[in-house]
Amino acid sequence: MRDIGINVSPNILYGVDPFMDCIKSTGFDAVFTYGNLPDFIDHVAEKCAQLGLRYEALHAPSDHINDLWHGGEAGENVVKMLCESVDLAAAHGISKVIVHVSSKEDCPHVTDAGLELFDRFVKYAAEKDVIVAVENQRKLGNISTIFEIYPKESNVAFCWDNGHEACFARGREYLPLFGDRCVLTHIHDNNCIYNVDEHLLPYDGQIDFRRVADLLHASGYKGTLMLETDLPHEGSEKYADLSLEQFVSKAFAAINRLRILSE
């Protein structure tokens, strides 16, 4: 059976260490984190080493990612941010950095200036032996252009986010297009309302996970099924009524159900 994983956040209600202890004892194999947070990444990496969890990916910040396509100083700042993610990943033996190449509805079109900047980032990641995993958002053009430029043999690959597909893509399916380049998944649920990205646990929303399983199976993807869910945190009512053990057990049961379906 393939591995299963879950995101870790510094603001999780239960505390990072108890959460990681619990996911390990429950049966999770891997984790990923979001953002360029050196102290937090150091801590998660150390905890993974202690527990025998795999720190599979670092999600680069996505703020201002559209500035990449404007070029100039704004684009340079995006590349600097992305390269910082690569440095943090490489320093901790994290094999993948997840990136967006568009954001929101008003994303600019792909530009030559942006492609030159992105190429600099890709080459920098290759030098550090880090895979750039491009995640699907709303726009097909940006991501398809990237995959036309960089062959499958390069360090540019695909991160399939089934939740984004359900609430952003207006019926488009990405795994049939890019499944042969998929190296990572983000698995979560929502109520399939356009632009409402809820990051629920699987089977808590309206996504057809039988279809998700079929797409995974047909793609040939054998990697980790990685949950990307809104973890309970202060100020949010989402799953706030669950204890640590109840939440982790619910998360495990949901992703394990999909794992069995997709074999």
Q: Structure tokens of 53?
A: 């969890």
Judged against a pLDDT cut of 90, whether residue 106 lies above it is answered with no
Structure tokens at 130: 């880090």
DSSP 196-241: ----BPTTSSS--HHHHHHHHHHHT--S-EEE-----BTT--TTTT
d(CA 82, CA 59): 10
Q: What is the pLDDT at residue 8?
A: 98
Residue 105 — pLDDT band, cuts 50, 70, 90?
confident
pLDDT band for 252, please (50, 70, 90 cuts).
very high
Spatial contact of 86 and 126, defined as CB atoms under 8 Å apart = no
The three-class DSSP label of residue 114 is helix
Q: 49-58 pLDDT, tens per residue?
A: 999 999 999 9
Proportion of the chain above pLDDT 70, given as a percent: 100
* CB-CB contact of 54 with 44 (8 Å): no
Average pLDDT value over all residues in the chain: 97
pLDDT in tens, 191-202: 999 999 999 999
pLDDT tens track for 117-132: 999 999 999 999 999 9
263 versus 254: which is more confidently predicted? 254
Contact 82, 121 (CB under 8 A): yes
Over residues 146-187, the pLDDT tens digits come to 999 999 999 999 999 999 999 999 999 999 999 999 999 999
Q: How many C-beta atoms lie closer than 10 Å to residue 238's C-beta?
A: 16
* Range 72-84 average pLDDT: 97
Is CATH 3.20.20.150 correct for 4-262?
A: yes
pTM score, two decimals?
A: 0.97
pLDDT at 246 over 90: yes
